[in-house]
Amino acid sequence: MSSPHVTELTDADFESFIKNAATPVLLDFWATWCAPCRMLTPVIEEIASENTGKFAVAKVNVDDCPGAASQFGIRSIPTLLYFKGGEKKDQSVGVLSKADIVRKLEALV
């Protein structure tokens, strides 16, 4: 992961990250072999770096963290989940524009 603003989560820490976040959370479920996921990565990193302190942004590799993927019923990737106050508020599947992702996050502020 090239961005210091995006947290890589594991099955062991993703739940505490979501519950303890003081800001809305964007959670990106992805895999290294997924071409659309790789297309979305720079967008996610840009959102994270431009909104430091406003949103918490994290990635979950579905191959490394099957528990997290299973808990949220992730069937297709990339899947973005949007959390506020530890609860899932929204979800999107596939590649979205930066503006669409930011709009969903702004709705949680």
Report the C-alpha gap between 34 and 80 in whole angstroms: 14
37 counts as catalytic? yes
CA angle, corner 102, sides to 38 and 54, nearest 5? Answer: 105
Rounded to whole angstroms, how far apart are CA atoms 100 and 79? 14
DSSP 24-52: -EEEEEE-TT-HHHHHHHHHHHHHHHHTB
Q: Which of 34, 40, 48, 74 is catalytic?
A: 34
Catalytic: which of 25, 26, 27, 37?
37
Residue at 107: amino acid letter: A
| 34 a catalytic residue | yes
**Could you give the CA distance from residue 107 to residue 39 in angstroms, rounded to a whole number?**
24
Give the residue numbers marked as catalytic: 34, 37
